[in-house]
Structure 1
Amino acid sequence: MMQTKKSLCNIKGLSEAKVEKICEAAEKVVNLGYVTGNEYLHKRKSVVRITTGSNALDTLLGGGIETMAITEVFGEFRTGKTQLAHTLCVTTQLPLNMHGGNGKVAYIDTEGTFRPERLIPIAERFGLDSTAVLDNIVFARAYTAEHQSNLLYSLAAKMAEEPFRLVIVDSIMALFRVDFTGRGELADRQQKLAQMLSKLSKIAAEFNVGIFMTNHVIADPGGGTFVADPKKPAGGHVLAHAATIRLMLRKGKGEQRICKVYDAPNLPEAESISSSLFCCIQITAGGITDCKD
């Protein structure tokens, strides 16, 4: 029901007549039509919020990383994006009464930055067995944008059989920026990106998992001299509309990092550093934690 009839007809062995019958049968099983607000509110009660390891950041996010949603974190290099991803690999496996997700994690690495040994001290911090933690993470290294997209098909098959709670893509735009060059390929790049983000959104909705993706920033030539920080997240409007929650990380003093809510449907955009929609976190051996200052 989440696929077009055209795409289903491309599957070997499925004719138009078979696709019509499949869709008719699926409509009787799955209701994708109108529901009341109360019915949807009841469905939203199944959303799990996974702790980030920082009380301040959890408060900023209304409890943690949401399932059935796409959370994007962008920032310059060395702002803690990958460290946050590693921390979530562990916290997702915590039981629900410890604000975890009680599920497995899928990690798609596009830049070669995943380090399983980094998870050992983080697991120890939360009192988990590091061997069990690593066994509950499925990892794939993507080398092209097409490979990155195709990995989602096999991942969906795994999710139909095992209890996953989080999908991490670190980072979402790296391979697209390599495989598509120049303005001449920009339209094709954005279309392929939109299709992959649509797959992620459908996986999040169907399996009640959270999608956590990191993103680069790019220089904005039109930012002007008087703009304090003329950088913006890569991916353009396609990525901006696909992400449910967008967070911006920037460097603070030492190992401190400042997180700002850039866009979210349930939170207003922060305007100043004095706003409660900012928080300060730091990177430690045990992953992302609260700032002590």
Structure 2
Amino acid sequence: MPLLLFIGNYQLCPLVLGIEWDNLIKEKNVGLVIVDSIIALYRAQLKGMEWLARQQQRLNYVVDFLNRYAENFNLSVVYTNQVLEQVNILHITLKVQVGGNIIAHAATHRFLLRKTKNDVVIIT
């Protein structure tokens, strides 16, 4: 059974997960956890460069928590992330994942979805 996760408060996230998940996973036989836009709340609530270190620390804590649950309960964890476009010195536009190295190194598999002009979705 898949579990779609909605987190309303980034500070309570690991506590809520720790208290409620153990029984829920066992009772419902959960095998897949989906976290939609893992970075969105952090970007909305911790704005500016002065908050970057705290944002990365909290994001690392949540990702590590999810990875431990995946191992302990034999779960698959899928999370979506935001992508932004950066223009480099040569005016080449690059698509970069939001969340820095924490997100980049936490995942075992990463996919980029993009849509063509004909509305065909390409996964790379």
Q: Above 0.5 in TM-score?
A: yes
Residues 51-98 of structure 1: CA distance to partner in whole angstroms, max 9, x if unpaired? xxxxxxxxxxxxxxxxxxxxxxxxxxxxxxxxxxxxxxxxxxxxxxxx
Instruction: Specify which of 27, 30, 45 is matched with residue 161 of structure 1.
Output: 27
Matches within 5 A, 1:1-293: 104-109=1-6, 142-153=7-18, 154-221=20-87, 223-227=88-92, 229-260=93-124
Deviations 1:182-225 (A, max 9, x none): 1111111100100100110011101111101111012325x234
CA distance in 1, matches of 2:118, 2:48: 37
Contact (CA 8 Å) 1:224, 1:230: kept in 2 or not? no
Q: Give SS of 1:143's match.
A: coil
What TM-score do the two structures reach when normalised by structure 1?
0.40
**What percentage of aligned pairs have identical amino acids?**
32
Write the distance in 1 (CA, Å) between the matches of 2:117 and 2:76.
Answer: 30
Task: Give, in whole Å, the separation in 2 of the partners of 1:234 and 1:162.
Answer: 32
Structure 1 runs, 4 residues or longer, greater than 4 Å off:
none
Contact kept in structure 2, 1:144 and 1:179, CA below 8 Å: no
Counterpart-to-counterpart distance in 2, 1:151 and 1:255: 38
Tell me if the contact between 1:167 and 1:212 (Cα under 8 Å) persists in the aligned partners. Answer: yes
- Contact conserved, 1:216 with 1:234, CA < 8 A, in 2? yes
Equivalents in 1 of 2:79, 2:65: separation in Å? 14
**Cα separation, 2, equivalents of 1:217 and 1:155:** 29
**2:94 partner letter:** P
Letter in 1 for 2:55: R
Please tell me the root mean square deviation across aligned C-alpha atoms, in Å.
1.7
Unmatched segments (≥5 aa) in structure 2: none
| Deviation, structure 1 residue 144 | 2.4
2:79 aligned counterpart, secondary structure: strand
| Secondary structure in structure 1 of the residue aligned to 2:27 | coil
**3-state SS of 2:111 partner:** strand
Code of the aligned partner of 2:100: G
**Please, which runs of 5 or more residues in structure 1 have no aligned partner?**
1-103, 110-141, 261-293
SS of the residue corresponding to residue 246 of structure 1 reads coil
How far off its partner does 1:226 sit? 4.1
